[in-house]
């Protein structure tokens, strides 16, 4: 299973898949995914539009506070902003395939850290367990909206 460039014909479907889990991923408006893709260092899909991953390098023009958190702490990194897998294909290795591909890209570019954030409120224990199984370690946390949204930061040292 090899991730491929995101095809324009899959944008609407990938946006819809994202929005099914918007509480864990953040809602995307029409056209927003294309804008996000334009600034990424890594934008790939799997399963003919069943899954996507977006990641940014240091120096990107990206205003996400979570990206900025990593920017303040790491000279070189890849920040995974979004990994979306359709419920129909979960458990089939898509997430692992994305991270293996991203790690290859990072190593080839001399990037020592892959970082991400995972919701702790609302809780996303499956994502935490998945990332820990890949070797990610907890490295920080942030309250986004008190009582509504909190995240934990994780990083993988390559």
Q: Look at the pTM and tell me if it is higher than 0.75.
A: yes
* Model pLDDT for residues 30-68, shown as the tens digit of each residue: 999 999 999 999 999 999 899 999 999 999 999 999 999
**pLDDT over threshold 80, residue 25:** no
* Model pLDDT for residues 72-85, shown as the tens digit of each residue: 999 999 999 999 99
For domain 4-157, the CATH architecture is: 3-Layer(aba) Sandwich (3.40)
pLDDT at 26: 79
Pairs from 98-106 (Cβ < 8 Å, separation ≥ 24): 98/3, 98/44, 98/46, 98/51, 98/53, 99/134, 99/156, 101/2, 101/3, 101/44, 102/42, 102/53, 102/55, 102/78, 103/156, 103/158, 105/41, 105/42, 105/78, 106/78, 106/158
134 phi/psi in degrees, rounded to 5: -85, -10
């Amino acid at each position: 299973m090899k991730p491929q460039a995101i095809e324009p014909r899959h944008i609407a479907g990938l946006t819809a898949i994202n929005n099914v889990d918007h509480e864990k991923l953040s809602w995307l408006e029409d056209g927003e995914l294309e804008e996000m893709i334009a600034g990424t260092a890594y934008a790939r899909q799997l399963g003919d539009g069943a899954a996507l991953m977006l990641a940014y390098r240091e120096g990107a023009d990206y205003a996400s506070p979570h990206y900025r958190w990593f920017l303040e702490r790491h000279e070189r990194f890849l920040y995974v902003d979004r990994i979306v897998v359709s419920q129909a294909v979960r458990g089939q290795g898509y997430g692992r395939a994305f991270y293996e591909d991203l790690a290859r890209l990072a190593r080839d570019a001399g990037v020592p850290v892959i970082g991400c954030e995972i919701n702790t409120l609302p809780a996303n224990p499956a994502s935490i367990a998945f990332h820990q199984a890949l070797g990610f370690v907890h490295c920080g946390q942030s309250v986004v909206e008190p009582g509504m949204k909190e995240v934990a930061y994780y990083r993988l040292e390559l």
